[in-house]
Structure 1
Amino acid sequence: MASLATFSWISLYLLAVLLAPASAQDPTAGFTAVSLSESNFQLQKPYNMPSSARYSFDGTVRRMWVLSSDEPFSPQSDTKPRTEMRMTGHDYSSGVWQFEGSVYVPSGTSGVSIMQVFGGGETATTLMLHVYNGALRYYNQKPVEDNIYNRWLRVNVIHDVGASRLTVFINGQQKLSEPGRGGNSHYFKFGVYTQREASSRMESRWKNVRILKKN
């Protein structure tokens, strides 16, 4: 009987280990945050709108929204509507860089990019994170995280330029690893940028945004 009880406990332990979620990692280990001020956050919004019509910042949360019927960010642009932060002062062409931020996407937002690594060879970007019907995706392709509506997620995107590799973590869990798409200069963007099959209104909220560089 004792051996049977021992076997049962071992079986239960192994089952618990198999079902337990993978332990979270710290993607920022070995990186150092660069200094950021408000001057590093450059807002891009519909050119005919005041900033307050599409953006708010309470000192902690940056809230950005756009309508699918809005104008582009400049009269000369033929791109789709956006309200995005273009991170300035830390463009890069080599090394290993990281974007970190916590994002909240309200239900109903769909057909939109919420984060970009700008700069590609034959494409404008080397990575985009899209939202479609509550799922976060690599462009409109591979799933990254399901059921993202109405909850805060910590997003870490690491770009190893030399290895041409991008790695995405959600809440400390590695969710994606993809090759880069070339390009000679890169920078980070976040917010809302209209994509295919967009909802009439799109919004994302961000806090604790940092840029880091590998030591």
Structure 2
Amino acid sequence: MRITIFSPKTIQEFAKPMCSFNYYRLIFFSALLVSFLGPQRYASADPTDGFTPVPLQNGNFVLEKPYNVPLTDRYSHVDGVNKLWVYNHDKPFKPGSDTRPRTEIRIKGCDYSSGVWQFEGYAYVPRGTSGVTIMQIHGAAEGATTLQLRIYNGVMRYYKYDLVATDLYDKWFRLNVIHDVGKGKLTVFIDGEQKYEGHDQGPGDLYFKCGVYAAPEKSSNYMESRWRDIKIYKK
């Protein structure tokens, strides 16, 4: 807690009877309140403040799924909710690929290589889904991705490493991810609260994805996530 020390004269002036309370004392009291509470307690900004929405149409959402099954066997869209699921033994998204099985929404028309961009969506992960990437930023100077957010037993991690958030099973949560390419910085918010900040993997041809993409190891047999109100913002 930050403590501000005022001189005896200042305190005496502020302590004058309330009948003489005026505009300047109101300003003084407001400054004292901010000093005591701190700026973070006084007001909290929304992650999208200062960003401009990018218009999205149905054509911006491209589905990737195991190549040998119909889309309806791994995806549904009902009442605005995108439900995506995959099995650990499924084929990759195209013949000859050595990638793990996935059912993902690839957001096209919002590819970027510079600037400040933001993904927003409301996600739901049912209990039992584990060892799966539910959101990623594809593209990097090193490796295939600059960010993967994975669920392990209800806990979200940066890849399989840093803890991002806990207790995410069986409830809707708002996910915001900001990527500042110039600063090489990634920031993750859950329900409007910052949960993680780290470095990206270098510049590249970048785009956002969400859904279910099996992790290299310890994936559950069945993996599912649901998404609604997906938006992209930029500065």
Percent identity (aligned): 54
1:163 aligns with 2:183: yes
1:84 aligns with 2:100: no
Letter in 2 for 1:100: E
* Structure 1 residue 193 displacement after superposition: 0.2
1:143 aligns with 2:163: yes
Residue 145 (structure 2) aligned to one of 110, 125, 131: 125
Residue 198 (structure 2) aligned to one of 146, 160, 178: 178
Assess if the C-alpha contact under 8 Å between 1:103 and 1:152 holds in 2: yes
Assess if the C-alpha contact under 8 Å between 2:181 and 2:203 holds in 1: no
1:200 aligns with 2:221: yes
Letter in 1 for 2:50: G
Separation in structure 1 between the aligned mates of residue 79 and residue 93 of structure 2, nearest angstrom: 24
RMSD of the TM alignment (CA)?
Answer: 1.4
* Structure 1 residue 58 displacement after superposition: 1.5
Seen in structure 2, the aligned counterparts of structure 1 residues 49 and 37 have a Cα distance that, compared at 3 Å, is same
> What's the counterpart of residue 52 of structure 2?
32
1:47 aligns with 2:57: no
- Give the TM-score of the pair, scaled to structure 1: 0.88
Seen in structure 2, the aligned counterparts of structure 1 residues 73 and 23 have a Cα distance that, compared at 3 Å, is farther
Letter in 1 for 2:76: S
- Structure label with greater radius of gyration: 2
> What's the counterpart of residue 75 of structure 1?
95
Residue 98 (structure 1) aligned to one of 118, 126, 131: 118
SS of aligned partner of 2:104: strand
Q: Which has the higher contact order (CA 8 A, sep 6+)?
A: 1
* Structure 1 residue 23 displacement after superposition: 6.7
1:116 aligns with 2:130: no
Assess if the C-alpha contact under 8 Å between 1:121 and 1:181 holds in 2: yes
* Structure 1 residue 183 displacement after superposition: 3.0
Q: Could you list the runs of 4 or more consecutive aligned residues of structure 1 that deviate by over 2 angstroms after TM superposition?
A: 21-25
Seen in structure 2, the aligned counterparts of structure 1 residues 24 and 55 have a Cα distance that, compared at 3 Å, is farther
Separation in structure 2 between the aligned mates of residue 23 and residue 153 of structure 1, nearest angstrom: 21
- Give the TM-score of the pair, scaled to structure 2: 0.81
Which deviations, in whole Å up to 9, do the C-alpha atoms of 1:82-124 show, x marking residues without a partner?
Answer: 0001110110011000000000000000000000011111211
Separation in structure 2 between the aligned mates of residue 178 and residue 101 of structure 1, nearest angstrom: 20
Seen in structure 2, the aligned counterparts of structure 1 residues 60 and 184 have a Cα distance that, compared at 3 Å, is same
Separation in structure 1 between the aligned mates of residue 121 and residue 42 of structure 2, nearest angstrom: 21
1:63 aligns with 2:91: no
Letter in 2 for 1:165: K
